[in-house]
A and B are shown apart, each in its own frame.
Chain A
């Protein structure tokens, strides 16, 4: 068997979390992974480290410590200001080879997935993508990755015996971020950045970022499937009344009725709202995993046999184009009465 560059015998008893920064703070998934890593480390008496690459990063160190990081490995360099695969892979690889952590956790975001895929090959180790849960077996000290497979009815548990680091990616929203302790302190270790200019071949020509929505933490999610026939205006009106956001299954996204970042489910966003309202959605498993964590699920579908009703608390058999306007009406009237 092809050996990883370092094995279980050389590992340091620590978990590393790759941290991402977006818009002036650590990303949600970074904090979620810190919380999960913290729980595991506390059980085993291990160290939790963060790996943070970029430029002008000092403000984010405190945030990492407040969420549970013990040691922050920091590479702060103008050449890391923008994510480029060559630079980030090289710097992350150097830091990992210096410390040889047992576990490396990363968010399943576009850039982190790119980085994870390259690092795993460079380190000759395994990579478990899109894990739905993680735990460390205290006896074997192996990371057990839970992934959902083949239509979602089955969970598979995947481990690596000898290969290190044990790499795993997790989608945003799968874990819940924990308590924040602003008084918590930690240690910062600066990573020496050695980059041969010859390898830096990616050139960022242009970037445009507009408004972003974060659906993972909205209180109300109004989602539409094929059955809404592209009428997301109606759903947006309902969402606004309830202080929520709209989402969709894959077909309306593919048909261009709604932005892809609002796709809910296995290949989209996993949400944990108080209420999820599913309109005209058949209930395929790929979608259902995205709303499984909702406190209350409401489903509206004209087909009484629709699978979605098996995953709903309140089921309404009817035409979404009539039920939703009636609900908007009922909510509006109520609001007027309250406002009086």
Chain B
């Protein structure tokens, strides 16, 4: 029986508190923003690590973006993963969901022999949650989304997952290979293993693939591969509230507020 091979898709995102939007141009000012691993991807990472603890096998990290994302990815590697694959090419830039999922799927194919592909529920900067099902479709694999727990039957090559649904849960079983999205905050991501730190910094821990080495179709990647186009930007309308401060003793405030609530209902 082959060992379990898990790919964790990791997105590097700007730290939310450091995102600045130019008030004139409405463009994102990314120049000085520091990056971090998309927080929901840390839950996917933790789920992969606990699967590796339980069943053995190996974990490959897969990311797409500029090479300056490398330090962030090495931190994730030092949590207990085995290798980094970074898809990096200026031609990949500007990708929407269709082009992103295509490119990631080509990365998974090139890595080869993958049983599970784990993703965070959504990205903190895009928050659309559309990558996992799109990736599964390109790969023709099964999918399980919003999982809080997962177990693997290696003999039967099945993944069984518990998924949160409105007001409850369901347990689903699907064949491997399978794309899984992991419910945000369903586990407590471990810290990096400091003893792995210098190992994780070694040069051959990372493989960088550009469009040529992936042999991606030029019209499927980046801007040309993206059907959606941003045609305008506007400032979000601001709903003006009264902003009236209630003052007085605590009891006076409570009385006044009770009156206001009564009037408003």
Contacts and interface: CB of A to CB of B under 8 A. Distances in A.
Interface of A: 1-2, 4, 22, 85-86, 89, 109-110, 113-118, 120-122, 124-130, 144, 148, 150-163, 201-213, 219-220, 242-243, 253-254, 260-261, 266-267, 274-275, 292, 295-298, 309-318, 322-323, 326-327, 329-331, 334
B172 to A, nearest CB: 6
B241 A297 contact: yes
A254 B42 CA distance: 14
A298 B244 CA distance: 10
B103 interface: no
Interface string B46-81: 000000000000000000000000000000000000
Contact of B128 (A114, A130, A159): A130
Interface string B166-186: 111111111100000000010
Contacts of A153: 21, 235-236
Nearest to A292: B239
Contacts of A254: 185
Contact of A295 (B98, B243, B264): B264
Given A2-B219, A121-B98, 18 more contacts: A2-B98, A22-B166, A85-B142, A114-B133, A114-B143, A114-B145, A116-B133, A118-B143, A126-B226, A127-B98, A151-B21, A158-B228, A213-B167, A261-B166, A314-B242, A330-B251, A330-B257, A334-B258
Nearest to A212: B167
Given A117-B137, A129-B128, A201-B142, A326 B229 contact: no
B146 A110 contact: yes
A201 B176 CA distance: 10
A102 to B, nearest CB: 14
19 contacts: A85-B143, A110-B145, A117-B97, A117-B129, A117-B131, A117-B133, A124-B98, A126-B228, A127-B228, A150-B19, A159-B231, A204-B172, A205-B171, A205-B172, A314-B242, A314-B246, A316-B245, A330-B254, A330-B255
Contacts of B1: none
Given A1-B225, A158-B229, A129 B129 contact: yes
Interface of B: 16, 19, 21, 26, 28, 96-98, 101-102, 122, 125, 127-134, 136-138, 142-143, 145-146, 160, 163-175, 185, 217, 219-220, 224-236, 239, 241-246, 250-251, 253-255, 257-258, 260-262, 264-265
A253 B19 CA distance: 24
A157 B234 CA distance: 8
Main secondary structure of the interface of A (DSSP, over half): mixed
Given A1-B224, A160-B229, A316-B245, A208 B169 contact: yes
Q: State the 7 A-B residue pairs at the shortest beta-carbon distance, nearest first.
A: A117-B133, A126-B227, A129-B128, A212-B167, A326-B254, A209-B168, A163-B227
Residue of A89, A157, A326 most packed against chain B (CB within 10 A):
A326
B216 to A, nearest CB: 11
Given A118-B137, A150-B125, A316 B253 contact: yes
A327 B254 contact: yes
Contacts of A317: 245
B170 A207 contact: yes
Contact of A117 (B127, B132, B251): B132
B263 to A, nearest CB: 9
Contacts of B244: 313-315
A152 B228 CA distance: 20
B36 to A, nearest CB: 15
B264 A118 contact: no
Contacts of A207: 165, 168-171
Contact of A318 (B131, B137, B253): B253
Given A151-B16, A161-B229, A125 B166 contact: no
Contacts of B225: 1-2
Nearest to B121: A267
A295 B228 CA distance: 35
